[in-house]
Chain A
Amino acid sequence: MWSWVGHRITGVVIFIFLLVHVLDTSLVRVSPEAYTAVIGAYKNPIMGLGEAGLVAAIVFHAFNGLRIIAIDFWKKGPKYQRQLLWGVLALWAVTMIPFLIRHLTIVFSNFFGGH
């Protein structure tokens, strides 16, 4: 039940970001200055943490989506749905740890280190 709630909430969050992300990318059609200025806002540490949260939502939604497919199409899927959820959470952690180390290093070293 909670995986279902989580799937809906992450889905809506990702959809809203997607609408904004197409709009900000569309600024490349306005001018290089406009795009670079707005994309610069994505590079400060607070937005960097927001991106980490967004990727966490995407990775959960992706792996839980595969679990839903397994439950729908695999004969033993419904029987093992709980174990599959633990698998989703384990894969989520395995994916997020290296992502967070890499992404947050880039965000924070460029902000505090400058260049």
Chain B
Amino acid sequence: MSTDSIAAPRSNSAQSPKYKRNKGSNSSFEMVAWLFMRLSGVILIVLIFGHLFVNLMVGDGIHAIDFGFVAGKWADPFWQIWDLAMLWLALLHGTNGVRTIINDYAERDGTRMALKTILYIATTVIIVLGTLVIFTFDPCPPGAVIDLPSFCPVP
């Protein structure tokens, strides 16, 4: 038997099913999201490995972390920008990952919408809160006495 006699599966015969893509939107959002996961992932490896190394491996490790430690780091714009980038990228990367998981497992439309609404609210609150904390932080708050960084004036 010759293989020539078998029609190609997706030939334009009358019987061949029309391949229907969802034409709901031409938006490239999903493609941008897919690319964002890979780009932000690579940057986050550098940011988070650096964060873990400086905070857990150097000096006294986690035991050295107190108010003065954070104040000392954020006195330097380098660490402010580092932490700001980490905050935004990690939250957007994580939110998009959880969005994908919700889309995969929550089958009812209402459930999916509700879960994603909660997710987006949580993400917005945490990003705004974290950003405000980095930029409105006062390393020498008035009235405070313990664990202050060494550069604060002695009360």
Q: Which of B62, B71, B98 contacts A106, CB < 8 Å?
A: B62
> How many angstroms from the CA of A51 to the CA of B51 in the assembled complex?
14
Q: Which residue from chain B places its CB closest to the CB of A26 in the assembled complex?
A: B133
Q: Are B45 and A32 in contact, CB atoms less than 8 angstroms apart?
A: no
Quick one: CB contact mask for B8-50 with A, threshold 8 Å, 1 for yes? 0000000000000000000000000000001001101100110
Chain A neighbourhood of B75, CB < 8 A: none
Q: Are B148 and A32 in contact, CB atoms less than 8 angstroms apart?
A: yes
Q: Are B45 and A66 in contact, CB atoms less than 8 angstroms apart?
A: yes
Given contacts A29-B137, A69-B42, contact A36 B57 (CB under 8 A): no
Q: Are A29 and B133 in contact, CB atoms less than 8 angstroms apart?
A: yes
A89 nearest CB across to chain B (Å): 17
Q: Which of B65, B94, B147 contacts A42, CB < 8 Å?
A: B65
> How many angstroms from the CA of A32 to the CA of B67 in the assembled complex?
5
Q: Which of A14, A15, A102 has the most CB of B within 10 A?
A: A15
A15 nearest CB across to chain B (Å): 4
B52 at interface by CB-CB < 8 Å = yes
Q: Are A110 and B97 in contact, CB atoms less than 8 angstroms apart?
A: no
Number of A interface residues in the complex (CB < 8 A):
38
Given contacts A8-B101, A32-B67, contact A22 B62 (CB under 8 A): no
Q: Are A26 and B45 in contact, CB atoms less than 8 angstroms apart?
A: no
Chain B neighbourhood of A68, CB < 8 A: 38
A93 at interface by CB-CB < 8 Å = no
Number of A-B contacts defined by CB within 8 Å: 114
Quick one: CB contact mask for B53-81 with A, threshold 8 Å, 1 for yes? 00011001111011110110000000000
Q: Are A28 and B62 in contact, CB atoms less than 8 angstroms apart?
A: no
A90 at interface by CB-CB < 8 Å = no
A45 nearest CB across to chain B (Å): 11
Q: Are A28 and B130 in contact, CB atoms less than 8 angstroms apart?
A: no
B141 nearest CB across to chain A (Å): 7
A33 nearest CB across to chain B (Å): 6
Q: Are B129 and A106 in contact, CB atoms less than 8 angstroms apart?
A: no
Chain B neighbourhood of A106, CB < 8 A: 56, 60-63
Could you jot down 29 A-B contacts, CB within 8 Å?
A: A8-B101, A14-B94, A15-B97, A18-B94, A18-B126, A22-B91, A22-B126, A22-B129, A23-B126, A25-B70, A25-B130, A29-B136, A31-B141, A31-B144, A33-B144, A35-B66, A36-B146, A36-B147, A55-B56, A58-B52, A62-B41, A65-B38, A65-B45, A72-B38, A73-B38, A99-B57, A103-B56, A106-B61, A107-B61
Q: Which 4 A-B pairs have the closest CB atoms?
A: A32-B67, A106-B61, A15-B94, A110-B63
